[in-house]
A and B are shown apart, each in its own frame.
Chain A
Amino acid sequence: MATCNRNLSDSCDNVTTTTTTTTTTCLTKCAPPTVSLNVLPDEILEFIFTYLPPYGDLEHCSLVCKRWQLIVKNLVRRSQLNLEKGLADFRLRWEIYSQQTAASLEANSPRLSTGAPLPIIAGRFAHSTVRLGNSMYVFGGGSSSDTTFNDLWRFDLTHMRWSRPLATGTYPSPKGSASMVAWRDKLVLFGGWRYPSLHPPYQPWCLFDELHYYDLVKDRWLARNSLPCPPPMAGHSATVHGNCMVVFGGYQIKDDINVNSNDTWVLDLQEQRWWQPIFVGNTRPAPRYGQIQVELDKHHLLIVGGCGGANRVYTDAWLLDMSRDAWSWKQLNVRNKHFGAVHMWCNPGCRVNNFLVVVGPSPKMPLDFQIMKQSRVPAVGGSALRFGGLGQAPAPPPPLYQQQHPLLRPGQRAPLPERRPGALLPDQQNRGNGRFGGAALPPQEQYLANRRAILDQNMQQAQQFMHNNNVNNNNNNYQPRSGRLSDLHSPPAALPAAAPAAAPAAPDGDADAAQRLQRNLALRCRDNEPLLPKRFDEHYEDPFRMAAFNVPGRSRSASRDHSERIRRMEEKMNAIRNSRRSAPAHVEPQKLRAPSPKRVRCNVQSLFVCDISSLLQRDANNEPGLDWVEYKNFGVLSGAPDRLILSSLIAGNGELILFGGVHKETLTDITHHVSNSIHFLSVPRDII
């Protein structure tokens, strides 16, 4: 008979029989099973457990018997390690849970179906999320139709289901960008903004200073207000340390002025009392909102990124030391900034043990062009482009672009601040100078090879990117080069020599494709209008607008300038296209996709990982700082979600959970495409 291969562990009894009992494997049966699952060896059991969602079911398993408990503990530890390793190697993958998958899950699992459709949350952005136990709680946020929510939803991670707790008590007002943290068995919600109500019209934005507690046990909202109280704010960040919640930054109304702040407020969660700490030292982070704040340990927190208004997106990092009575800020050294996320104020980040993970726009392409459509060009003024600036690539990875600048700067006119309205411009160029000053061919070629080899679905985008580079260089009164890809394979020194006079050449009698191309270029060009500072300020000081949350661009003032520039651009386009005739075949203009009305997968999120272990270990050897981890494939992992901003990212068990967000592409439309799907970032399964 069969000899079972089994591990006899001490405490569990294994009974193997030469049985012929007709026990079927469904849940309901009459005869008791006579064989225990414990006959299987540990590794196989562990493998079985990896199939279980790592939340409630795994907890159940850990309670079954001692052996299982050990195995589950092992498994949890290993999955955490795997996640960290996967983060460091960028070997993860995204899985989506959306309405469709929910429906199919419903259909497949017999025991859940009750006939009634399950409720599902509406799409939203700038919501607040927190994870407590095996559930993810989502509150509020802005909707796709210029309204804000004040509903609380719960996503059960064990069963992968949305549900809506029936809450009583004093409901908070609708708000987005509030901060929500979990403390004991309560959720603490503070601050936020909301869209102005439409009637009566032209109402200002509302900022809140309400503080609410949500008691999960009793399902009740409790409002707490005590003086002194921080001013109404939104876009602040909060974390819990011990029994205190520390709130920093935000966009506030102080004495009737909207201003960014770098104040810190502390709420004693037990006594529900606010106080402000005393600081020692003069340095403080610049005023900002939208930063990422993570808790390092009970007395330390880390602030990364944030936005200080127009043209001021920060990528610095600060450590707040709360161990003594007087707190102090310390700026941290951020290393490998070129691998870092750029727009960390509208993109979420969270901490996974020794890493800080940020999900953001993919660094390989200039997202703003591709997103803005030609139809809305006149409306693309300061605000929309500023928003559009969200999608900027942190430039250093495209060495192609960077390559050109340092070489031409000496002789040429200084490039205009080109299509990137963000604050990165001086940074980028400095970086570009530093890194690619000389021969950067191998990275270029490798970069190109990487892109082409891996991003086949985004191949068109890559081409567009290269194309847009041309366009950019045009913007900067750049001399047209002799060909695009030839630059990649030829020494950079050839470039200045190859630069003919920038006279607008006569339009060559081209095929229709070229004409279309030209038109597309021109249209796209309008989107990368150099944004002069003063246009920003106009918008920024509008008291009814907050930079980040500016949704539709209402400025019409720049359209005249636009048409002027467009004409100039078109001439340059012609010149470039002439020179590009000699470009290698695989960069043919015809291959470039005309901007179609439907851009399905043009922008995806990519992952940025930062190593913060040196902060946690506090050894004297390295100066504590942040190291951005070099990404592979630009951080684009398989199954990446579309480019969204103002989504939320939290850490699950061995995975990361991304939810919500608004699709930037349609931001200047009245209706935005907001997402209500959840994306899980986890390690792909391996066989033991």
Chain B
Amino acid sequence: MSHQPEVLEMRTSDGVLFNVSLKLAQQMGLTHNWLQTEHGELRSSDDDDANIMPLDRVSSEIFKLVLSWCHAIQGIQRSADEKTRLQQDRDVFDNIIRESNASDATIFELIMAADYLNIEGLLEAGTQHVADVINSCDSVEAIRARFNIMCDSEMDN
């Protein structure tokens, strides 16, 4: 059967199973690969394990945030203009960050998850967010302080 199911099952690194609608999952580049390779040889539903997409590098909390971002993005009208689209991505991202009171760690993990799952919009939104924070730091010291980076030498040049 090469018929694609409505709901895709995904398991995160900590073993939590998520049922994700196909439409939502299509936002992730990783699912395209998955659907292409694995679905070709889909056995008929007995072997459950084979149909579950493993997400070994994403934890369940992060994945929840990712899903909420994808869901929100699906809900809004996507404009044709690139710039406003980026802005929309960013706005959704900002909302999620704010609502979940996300820490730096979460944001970084979100970015990495977006990279792993190959979700372009989320990756751009996240990195742009961090870039803006860097931008707002006026000096080198401020950057170090903000992001907790150790200065490892006397930077002469």
Known: A12-B152, A33-B104. A5 touches B136 (CB 8 A): no
Mask: chain B, 122-157; 1 = CB below 8 Å from A; 0 = not:
011001111111111101100110111111110100
Selecting from A39-47, A175-183, A568-576, the interface stretch reads: A39-47
Which one of B58, B124, B153 contacts A687 once the chains associate, using CB atoms below 8 Å?
Answer: B124
Q: Does B2 contact A (CB under 8 A)?
A: no
Interface check B107, CB cutoff 8 A: yes
A16 located at the interface, meaning its Cβ lies under 8 Å from any Cβ of chain B in the complex: yes
With a cutoff of 8 Å between Cβ atoms, the chain A residues found around residue B135 in the complex are 51-53, 57
**A19 CA / B148 CA spacing, docked (Å):** 15
| Main SS class of interface, A | loop
Report the Cα distance A47→B124, complex, angstroms.
Answer: 9
B117 to chain A, nearest CB (A): 12
Contact A40 B148 (CB under 8 A): no
Q: Name the CB-closest residue of A to B12.
A: A2
Please state if A3 and B13 are interface contacts (CB–CB under 8 Å): yes
Q: Is the CB of A11 within 8 A of B148?
A: no
Contact of A27 among B58, B102, B146 (CB under 8 A): B146
Query: Any chain A CB within 8 A of the CB of B42?
Result: no
Contact with B along A280-324 (1 / 0, CB 8 A): 000000000000000000000000000000000000000000000
Q: How far is the CA of A1 from the CA of B135 in the complex (A)?
A: 31
Pick from B108, B128, B136: contact of A35, CB under 8 Å = B108
- Indicate if A446 sits at the interface (CB-CB under 8 A): no
B115 proximal to A (CB < 8 A): yes
A33 to B150, CA, bound (A): 13
Contact mask for chain A residues 20-39; partner B; CB cutoff 8 A; 1 contact, 0 none: 11111101000011111111
Give the contacting residue for A32; candidates B115, B148, B153; CB below 8 A: B148
Which of these, B120, B124, B148, contacts A15 with CB under 8 Å? B148
Q: Which residue of chain A lies nearest to B105 when distances are taken between CB atoms in the complex?
A: A35
Instruction: Encode contact with B along A197-218: 1 for CB under 8 Å, 0 otherwise.
Output: 0000000000000000000000
Q: Determine whether B45 belongs to the interface, using a CB cutoff of 8 Å to chain A.
A: no
Contact at A17–B130, with CB atoms within 8 Å?
no
Residues of B within 8 A of A49 (CB): 131
Task: Please give the distance in Å from B52's CB to the nearest CB on chain A.
Answer: 19
Q: How many angstroms from the CA of A434 to the CA of B88 in the assembled complex?
A: 54
Shortest Cβ distance from A628 into chain B, in angstroms?
32
A66 to B153, CA, bound (A): 8
Point out which of B62, B109, B139 has the most chain A C-beta atoms below 10 A from its C-beta: B109
Given contacts A33-B148, A37-B149, A44-B111, contact A61 B143 (CB under 8 A): yes
- Chain A residue, CB-CB nearest to B57: A5
B116 within 8 A of A: yes
Q: Whole-angstrom distance between the alpha carbons of A23 and B116 in the complex?
A: 25
Q: Does A69 contact B (CB under 8 A)?
A: yes
- Chain B interface mostly: helix
Q: Does B61 contact A (CB under 8 A)?
A: yes
CA distance A383 to B42 in the complex (A): 78
Q: Does A257 contact B (CB under 8 A)?
A: no
| Contact yes or no, A65 B151, CB < 8 A | yes
Collect the chain A residues with CB atoms within 8 Å of residue B102's CB.
25
Chain B residues whose CB sits within 8 angstroms of the CB of A1 once the complex forms: 14, 59
Nearest B residue to A29 via CB reads B146
Q: How far is the CB of A28 from chain B (nearest CB, A)?
A: 10
CB atoms of B140 and A63 under 8 A apart: yes
Interface: B112 (CB within 8 A)? yes
Q: Which residue of B lies closest to A23 (CB)?
A: B103
Q: A16 to chain B: closest CB distance in Å? A: 6
Would you call A65 and B112 a contact (CB within 8 A)?
A: no
Within the assembled complex, what's the spacing in Å between the Cα atoms of A36 and B151?
12
A34: chain B residues at CB < 8 Å are 104-105, 148
Contacts of A35 in B (CB 8 A): 103-105, 108, 148
Of residues 374 to 409 in A, which have CB atoms within 8 Å of B's CB atoms?
none
B44 sits at the interface (CB 8 A):
no
The reply to whether A2 and B103 contact each other, CB–CB distance below 8 Å, is no
User: Do A65 and B131 form a contact, CB below 8 Å, given A35-B103, A44-B115, A687-B120?
Assistant: no
9 contacts between A and B (CB under 8 A): A2-B14, A3-B13, A5-B116, A33-B147, A37-B104, A53-B135, A57-B134, A57-B135, A65-B151
Known: A65-B144, A69-B155. 7 other contacts (CB 8 A): A2-B13, A2-B14, A33-B146, A34-B148, A38-B149, A57-B135, A60-B143
